[in-house]
Amino acid sequence: MDLVSELLSGMRLRGASYSKLRLAPPFGIGFAPTDDAHFHFVATGTLRLRPADGEMTGLSCGDAVLLPRGDAHALVSAPGARVRPFDSYETVPLCSNICMIDDLAQKACENGETLIFSGRMQFELDTLHPLVSLMPQVLSVRALTGRQPELHPLLAAMEREMAAERAGAAGILARLADVVAASIVRGWVEGGCGDATGWVEALRDPRLGRVIAALHRKPGHDWTIEEMAAEMGSSRSVFAERFVAVTGTTPSRYLLALRMRLAARWIGNDGLSIDGAARRLGYGSRAAFSRAYKRATGTSPGQLRRAGDPALEEERSAVPS
């Protein structure tokens, strides 16, 4: 398996919330910055995506875009349209974590309706985390459909589900959106990652790439600089200098950050116990892991656990400070 494919296997996009938007021009709907990625799919009509800074992007039927860093932006029917915050619109729940905004009830639909499916997605890219900050503000599916024809039926299916009022349509749309968004990220990585030259250089450097792949395969191993240098086939000093020059951080800091991201995913999303995460990451005790996690992130691993469960609250209170 090549290194890019191996690292991509750790990518997850989990839908946090979705919205089905039915709007009548003129409209403007603003999205505040978040820690999550934003996804938009246009099923009917035309509009523009206006970022907080940068150029507008025209969108039409069948277009999908992902804002991986969750930057502030607006969807507008025309450049001068007045923008209302998303939270100011009245929403109607469709099912768990999916709502509907129907603006046609307040407007005469003289210029046709615009149908959009939007989502906030938790972007879990622990194995490719350095790439997130290097991604462009907006990633578009339009650049990928030529070399990824498998996207066409997915986008067509989203159009059909948006147009129909079938049972379960909202849930199916959410799953399709997750797949399309993940495909957009994969296409960007496979296309060379744009201007993310330093990290891509690390992925393409066969000797340094072997080290990075080994760290991701065995994050709980008690790695030494000597072992990493041997994996690369160089001296300690050459390895350390090369690693910092390409990744921007030291090998030990990179490994610590990787371990803490994995721990956050395993504990917060996968339900692994703190003890289980500590063992999997090579810590001799829960206390040692908790101290390392708090030093690295400023919070306790117990705070990752679901609040309100008495058993988890008891477990959290037992964590040494």
Which CATH number belongs to the domain containing residue 18 in this structure? Answer: 2.60.120.10
Q: Does residue 296 form part of some domain?
A: yes
Residue among 51, 53, 44, 50 nearest 25 (CA): 44
Specify the pLDDT at position 308.
Answer: 33
**142 plus 285 within the same structural domain:** no
Measured distance CA(79)–CA(96) in Å, rounded: 34
Q: Structure tokens of 251?
A: 């090998």
Q: Does residue 199 form part of some domain?
A: no
Q: Are 228 and 239 in contact (CB under 8 A)?
A: yes
- Cβ-proximal residues to 9 (8 Å cutoff; 6+ apart), any chain: 127
Q: Are 236 and 281 in contact (CB under 8 A)?
A: no
Measured distance CA(173)–CA(54) in Å, rounded: 29
**174 plus 268 within the same structural domain:** no
Q: Are 38 and 74 in contact (CB under 8 A)?
A: no
**182 plus 134 within the same structural domain:** yes
Residue among 69, 41, 65 nearest 137 (CA): 69
Task: Identify the segments of the chain with pLDDT beneath 50.
Answer: 1, 307-321
Measured distance CA(169)–CA(160) in Å, rounded: 9
Q: What is the CATH number of the domain that holds 258?
A: 1.10.10
Domain that holds residue 45: 3-190
**154 plus 221 within the same structural domain:** no
**110 plus 185 within the same structural domain:** yes
Q: Does residue 95 form part of some domain?
A: yes
- Cβ-proximal residues to 298 (8 Å cutoff; 6+ apart), any chain: none
Specify the pLDDT at position 5.
Answer: 59
Q: Does residue 124 form part of some domain?
A: yes
Name the pTM for this structure. 0.69
Q: Does residue 258 form part of some domain?
A: yes
Measured distance CA(171)–CA(168) in Å, rounded: 5
Q: Does residue 62 form part of some domain?
A: yes
Q: Does residue 195 form part of some domain?
A: no
**165 plus 128 within the same structural domain:** yes
To the nearest whole percent, how much of the chain has pLDDT over 70?
A: 81
Measured distance CA(281)–CA(202) in Å, rounded: 24
Q: Does residue 275 form part of some domain?
A: yes
**179 plus 209 within the same structural domain:** no
**230 plus 276 within the same structural domain:** no
**213 plus 261 within the same structural domain:** no
**94 plus 214 within the same structural domain:** no
Q: How many domains does the chain have?
A: 3
**161 plus 21 within the same structural domain:** yes
**211 plus 306 within the same structural domain:** no
